[in-house]
């Protein structure tokens, strides 16, 4: 609260005694001046004394004015030892002098780190850790706290000097009271704050059911995700039935799959926290409430011979058309695709078309007949691509078109590589992989060929066929498609 005193209340009380004293002083001054004037005027040097007196009085007045102004400036200047929030006038001068002595400041090369450590849930424990980080020249960019029963897990995004090693960072953290410290190099993508990142993942999950496994992997970091159905491909129960609330067991998280079965998330190197479990469960509940959905955009392409085909996303609602396509395929085509008994092919269709296991692209003719399928499958922490084209539509570039689009999807989701499992005699698949113009690795074992394409820092897939048109329908179930 500020005390304010008005000019009226600040005046001193007026007394009649002061007036009498002032009048007496005035009369005395007049008598003295008259006496001095008469004495000087009657003397021989009277005029000269008056002139010198005037000059002396003028000099005195000038000196008094200069001295008063100097004291006024000194009283307004801050003291030398000022340590408040505002800088003093001498601070820039000292800074320039110090810079002149030590030379210009050289920028220090830095690196981004993600660090997790558990500290005691007591006042001052986090402050002690931050003090150690400041002494190391480490800047804290973001901080998340994960409360536990016996402490708090603090997750940092740090900008540290490039010469600071992970071992030194963990050692100093342990000295400050941190335990179970985990460090990992970060990149510019980690600079996004957690609420924004979680909202972005929820949006992508709402637009596409196939995004849920990817969203969980991006939310929880490096982890392996398995979708185990309640019934196996052979029709037998798998025994995987997670409760509605899910189960958290240190480094394993089990969530109830809305489509039936269980989503198992494993992260051996770092236990999950209750906060992470709650976020993952919220994403799964969002997926369950929205139900089946897939972006309904489609591209119309013109083949070299003039026929038009449509490439679009597919899901389990396309199961009857996919079975009809399998019935029209030859035994050799089915054998090259499934590497096993042809009679078991239709058992995999429901699994392959499920968005829980990946994304599927379908090719249909102008009459609506399904003639090709391309799958991008989430295999734990790896990604597989698979193709099948009906016999009458092979050797027309459809397989290469599907493969290029699947690889583009994998790049968009952050995958660093994709692999295809085929037979060494499947020259069509080998040629399509080579047409990607990506670094390839080949592994052959007992007639099975595994081709891995590395996507990190690789050029984009080959150009699409000519005369492409794009036709978009309204998104399914009122969910608007996000253009990327």
Query: Residue ranges of the domains in the chain?
Result: 110-189, 194-290, 297-478
Percent of the chain, pLDDT > 70?
A: 70
Find the Cα–Cα–Cα–Cα dihedral 7, 10, 15, 17, rounded to 10°. Answer: -110
Backbone angles phi, psi at 325, to 5 degrees: -65, -40
pLDDT at 11 over 50: no
What would the mean pLDDT of 219-232 be, rounded to a whole number?
80
What would the mean pLDDT of 294-300 be, rounded to a whole number?
80
Which band of pLDDT confidence, cut at 50, 70 and 90, is reported for residue 5? very low
What would the mean pLDDT of 148-152 be, rounded to a whole number?
85
Backbone angles phi, psi at 176, to 5 degrees: -90, 5
pTM score of the predicted model:
0.59
Report the pLDDT value the prediction gives residue 94, as an integer from 0 to 100.
43
Q: Which residues contact 189 (CB under 8 A, 6 or more apart)?
A: none
**How far from chain centre, in Å, is Cα 97?**
41
Q: Kindly report the number of other CB atoms within 10 A of residue 260's CB atom.
A: 14
pLDDT at 447 over 50: yes
For 110-189, give the CATH class: alpha beta
pLDDT at 91 over 50: no
- Give me the CATH topology for the region 297-478: Aminopeptidase (3.40.630)
Which band of pLDDT confidence, cut at 50, 70 and 90, is reported for residue 9? very low
Better-predicted residue by pLDDT, 149 or 469: 149
The winner for highest mean pLDDT among 238-252, 286-300, 427-441, 463-477 is 427-441
Percent of the chain, pLDDT > 90?
A: 13
Cβ 449 vs Cβ 170: under 8 Å = no
pLDDT at 230 over 80: no
Q: Which residues contact 297 (CB under 8 A, 6 or more apart)?
A: 312, 313, 470, 472, 473, 481
Report the pLDDT value the prediction gives residue 404, as an integer from 0 to 100.
92
CA atoms within 13 A on the CB side of 143: 14
Q: Can you tell me which residue has the tokens 């190197």? A: 269
Strand order in the sheet with 247-249: 224-228, 262-266, 252-256, 247-249
Residue among 422, 297, 421, 423 nearest 362 (CA): 297
Which band of pLDDT confidence, cut at 50, 70 and 90, is reported for residue 261? confident
Query: What is the full DSSP assignment across 411-431?
Result: HHTT-SEEEEEEETT-HHHHH
Which band of pLDDT confidence, cut at 50, 70 and 90, is reported for residue 311? very high
pLDDT at 357 over 70: yes
Q: Kindly report the number of other CB atoms within 10 A of residue 166's CB atom.
A: 15
184 DSSP β-pair partners: 114
Report the pLDDT value the prediction gives residue 321, as an integer from 0 to 100.
92
Report the pLDDT value the prediction gives residue 277, as an integer from 0 to 100.
92
Q: Kindly report the number of other CB atoms within 10 A of residue 481's CB atom.
A: 16
CA atoms within 13 A on the CB side of 334: 20
CA angle in degrees (0–180, nearest 5) for 169-175-180? 70
pLDDT at 263 over 50: yes
- Mean pLDDT over each residue of the chain, to the nearest integer: 76
What would the mean pLDDT of 17-46 be, rounded to a whole number?
67
Which band of pLDDT confidence, cut at 50, 70 and 90, is reported for residue 306? confident
Report the pLDDT value the prediction gives residue 390, as an integer from 0 to 100.
92
Distance (Å, rounded) from C-alpha 243 to C-alpha 232? 19
Distance (Å, rounded) from C-alpha 289 to C-alpha 479? 13
Report the pLDDT value the prediction gives residue 460, as an integer from 0 to 100.
40
- Residue 408 in tokens: 């583009």
Strand order in the sheet with 448-454: 440-445, 448-454, 417-423, 382-389, 370-379, 358-365, 308-314, 297-302, 469-472
Report the pLDDT value the prediction gives residue 370, as an integer from 0 to 100.
93
Residue among 123, 118, 189 nearest 156 (CA): 118
What are the Cα distances from residue 257, in Å, to 231, 264, 277, 348, 398?
Answer: 13, 9, 15, 19, 34
Backbone angles phi, psi at 183, to 5 degrees: -130, 150
CA angle in degrees (0–180, nearest 5) for 327-331-333? 90
The alpha helices in 44-122, defined as continuous H runs, are 46-76, 90-102
pLDDT at 259 over 80: no
Q: Which DSSP symbol is given to 462?
A: P
Report the pLDDT value the prediction gives residue 378, as an integer from 0 to 100.
84
What would the mean pLDDT of 409-416 be, rounded to a whole number?
84
Measured between its terminal Cα atoms, the distance across the chain in Å is 56
What would the mean pLDDT of 427-455 be, rounded to a whole number?
87
Which band of pLDDT confidence, cut at 50, 70 and 90, is reported for residue 407? very high
Phi-psi region of 425 (alpha: psi -120 to 50; beta: other; left: phi over 0): alpha
Convert the pLDDT of each residue in 359-404 to its tens digit: 899 999 988 899 999 999 887 678 899 999 999 998 888 999 999 9
Q: CA quadruple 212, 214, 219, 223: dihedral positive or negative?
A: positive
Distance (Å, rounded) from C-alpha 47 to C-alpha 396? 126
Report the pLDDT value the prediction gives residue 26, as an integer from 0 to 100.
65
Which burial class, exposed, middle or buried, applies to 459 when counting CB atoms under 10 A from its CB (0-12, 13-18, 19+)? exposed
Backbone angles phi, psi at 475, to 5 degrees: -60, 150
What would the mean pLDDT of 98-116 be, rounded to a whole number?
69
- Residue 232 in tokens: 């196996």
Report the pLDDT value the prediction gives residue 374, as an integer from 0 to 100.
93
Query: Helix 274-290 to helix 211-220 angle, to the nearest 10 degrees?
Result: 170
pLDDT at 54 over 90: no
Distance (Å, rounded) from C-alpha 483 to C-alpha 211? 15
What would the mean pLDDT of 110-121 be, rounded to a whole number?
89
SS3 317: helix
Report the pLDDT value the prediction gives residue 193, as an integer from 0 to 100.
79
Distance (Å, rounded) from C-alpha 262 to C-alpha 280? 13
**How far from chain centre, in Å, is Cα 245?**
28
Weakest mean pLDDT among 90-104, 338-352, 379-393: 90-104
pLDDT at 252 over 80: yes
């Amino acid at each position: 609260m500020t005390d304010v005193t008005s000019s009226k209340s600040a005046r001193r009380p007026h007394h009649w005694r002061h007036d009498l004293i002032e009048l007496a002083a005035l009369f005395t001054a007049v008598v003295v001046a008259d006496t001095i004037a008469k004495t000087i005027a009657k003397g021989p040097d009277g005029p000269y004394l008056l002139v010198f007196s005037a000059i002396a009085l003028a000099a005195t007045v000038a000196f008094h004015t200069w001295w008063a102004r100097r004291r006024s400036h000194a009283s307004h200047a801050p003291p030398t030892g000022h340590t408040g929030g505002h800088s003093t006038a001498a601070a820039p001068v000292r800074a320039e002098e110090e810079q002149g002595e030590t030379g210009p400041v050289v920028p220090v090369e830095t690196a981004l780190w993600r660090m997790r450590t558990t500290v005691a849930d007591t006042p001052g424990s986090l402050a002690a850790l931050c003090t150690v980080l400041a002494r190391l020249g480490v800047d804290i960019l973001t901080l998340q706290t994960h409360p536990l029963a016996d402490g708090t897990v603090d997750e940092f995004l740090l900008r540290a000097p490039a010469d600071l090693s992970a071992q030194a960072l963990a050692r100093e953290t342990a000295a400050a009271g941190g335990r179970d410290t985990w460090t990992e190099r970060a990149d510019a993508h980690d600079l996004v704050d957690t609420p924004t990142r979680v909202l972005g993942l929820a949006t992508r999950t709402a637009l596409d059911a196939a995004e849920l496994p990817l969203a969980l992997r991006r939310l929880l970091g490096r982890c392996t995700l398995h979708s185990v159905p309640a019934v196996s491909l052979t029709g037998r129960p798998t025994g995987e039935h997670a409760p509605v609330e899910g189960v958290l067991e240190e480094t394993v998280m089990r969530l109830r799959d809305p489509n039936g079965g269980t989503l198992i998330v494993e992260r051996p190197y770092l236990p999950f926290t209750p906060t992470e479990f709650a976020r993952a469960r919220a994403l799964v509940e969002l997926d369950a409430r929205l139900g089946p959905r897939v972006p309904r955009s489609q591209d119309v392409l013109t083949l070299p011979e003039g026929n038009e085909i449509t490439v679009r996303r597919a899901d389990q609602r396309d199961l009857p058309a996919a079975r009809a396509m399998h019935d029209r395929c030859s035994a050799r085509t089915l054998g090259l695709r499934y590497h096993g008994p042809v009679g078991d092919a239709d058992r995999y269709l429901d699994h392959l078309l499920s968005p829980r296991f990946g994304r599927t692209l379908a090719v249909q003719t102008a009459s609506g007949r399904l003639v090709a399928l391309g799958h991008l499958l989430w295999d734990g922490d790896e990604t597989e691509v698979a193709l099948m084209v009906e016999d009458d539509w092979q050797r027309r570039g459809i397989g290469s078109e599907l493969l290029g689009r699947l690889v583009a999807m994998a790049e968009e989701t952050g995958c660093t590589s994709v692999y295809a499992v085929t037979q060494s005699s499947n020259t069509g698949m080998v040629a399509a992989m080579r047409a990607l113009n990506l670094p390839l690795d080949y592994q052959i074992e007992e007639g099975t060929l595994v081709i891995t394409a590395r996507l990190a820092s690789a050029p984009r897939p080959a150009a699409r066929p000519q005369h492409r048109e794009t036709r978009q329908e309204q998104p399914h179930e009122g969910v608007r498609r996000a253009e990327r």
